[in-house]
Amino acid sequence: MIGIFDSGVGGLTVARAIMQQIPGYDIVYFGDTAHTPYGTKSRDTVIGYTLNNIKFLLNRGAELIVIACNTASSIATAQVLKQFSAPIFEVITPAVELAVQTSKNLNFGIIGTRATVTSGIYEKQIIEHQPRARVYSVACPLLVPLVEEGWLDRAETAMIVKKYLRPLKTRQIDTLILGCTHYPLLKKVIQRKIGKRVHLIDSSISVANRVNAFLAANTGIDRRLGRNGYLRLFVSDVTDQFKKIAEMTLKTKITFECVRT
């Protein structure tokens, strides 16, 4: 199975992108809703949660892991690669590579959680590809709770998005990385506020592309993955609200299985 995890239900945008690009693969998803959000927490805490989540997915039969959380990807990838031998994908690198191919003027914007922005991972990777790049990052900590409330089309959300994007508007960026798996749900308002000439890089789509290319090149692993179009959703806590957002993201009725981790 393809194992996917996130701090909560935001990472279902990645599951959705994978199901659209390589339909039919069996997926086991874990949302760590008992500890959500990660983006406001410290490095050590996020690393600890991430290691637990990967162990859980491997125990459930995952052969390949996707870290569908920018905060965990930013902070814990190095540790994770040391500790596990299964193929593990994170959302940062594919987004950076796509952004670098997309930008003409090498002015990049990054939006993400406070933990992701503080990690500096996007700047570092972009500069490795393009030493002349200029990278402007803004932490947008209120966007996760706004998405989790389902306030996607509200005037208040548009106002807050506008406020967060203001420092990027003056920087002539032509490419903006949505550095949090919740943000694809706000794509419309972000595009409206940043202006239609700026390319948005959706990390859920770029990581799904990456998994797709990997499986095409690694048929041994590909053959081990089930293809019954099966999606099993585990969470560490269930509430009606988590269910509502999950159904909004996947556009279908879902059932969660709750596990104490």
Alpha-carbon distance of 209 to 97, in angstroms, equals 12
Active-site hit among 27, 98, 180, 194: 180
79 binds a second copy (CB under 8 A): no
3-state secondary structure the chain: CEEEEECCCCCHHHHHHHHHHCCCCCEEEEECCCCCCCCCCCHHHHHHHHHHHHHHHHHCCCCEEEECCHHHHHHHHHHHHHHCCCCEEECHHHHHHHHHHHCCCCEEEEEECHHHHHHCHHHHHHHHHCCCCEEEEEECCCHHHHHHCCCCCCHHHHHHHHHHHHHHHCCCCCEEEEECCCHHHHHHHHHHHHCCCCEEEEHHHHHHHHHHHHHHHCHHHHHHCCCCCCEEEEECCCCHHHHHHHHHHHCCCCCCEECCC
Q: Which is nearer to a second copy, 43 or 60 (CB)?
A: 43
Q: Is 166 in the site for a second copy (CB under 8 A)?
A: no
- Residue 102 C-beta: closest distance to a second copy, Å: 31
Stretch that binds a second copy, among 22-30, 159-167, 186-194, 201-209 (CB under 8 A): 159-167
- Directed axis angle between helix 70-83 and helix 43-59, to 10°? 70
Helix 203-217 to helix 12-21 angle (10° resolution) is 50
Nearer to a second copy, 68 or 115 (CB): 115
**Of the residues 163, 171, 224, 227, which one makes contact with a second copy according to CB under 8 A:** 163
Does the protein bind a second copy through residue 120 (CB under 8 A)?
no
Task: Give the shortest CB-256-to-a second copy separation in angstroms.
Answer: 11
Catalytic residue among 12, 67, 68, 69: 69
24 touching a second copy, by CB under 8 A? no
If one asks whether residue 159 binds a second copy (CB under 8 A), the answer comes out as: yes
Question: Which CB atom, from 174 or from 247, has the smaller least distance to a second copy?
Answer: 247
Give the footprint of a second copy on residues 30-49 (CB under 8 A): 33-36, 40-42, 45
217 vs 182: CA distance, rounded Å: 29
- In sequence order, the β-bridge partners of residue 139 are 112
Contact status: 72 vs a second copy (CB under 8 A): no
Among 81, 124, 128, 156, binds a second copy (CB under 8 A): 156
Burial class, 149, CB count within 10 angstroms (exposed 0-12 / middle 13-18 / buried 19+): middle
CB-nearer residue toward a second copy: 145 or 167 = 145
| Per-residue binding letters, 124-153, with a second copy (x by CB under 8 A) | -----------------xx--xx-xx-x--
- Residue 85 or 240: the one with the smaller Cβ distance to a second copy is 240
The reply to whether 69 belongs to the active site is: yes
Q: Which is nearer to a second copy, 40 or 191 (CB)?
A: 40
For the annotated catalytic residues, the residue numbers are 69, 180
State the residues that interact with a second copy by CB under 8 A. 33-36, 40-42, 45, 114, 141-142, 145-146, 148-149, 151, 155-156, 159-160, 163, 236-239, 241
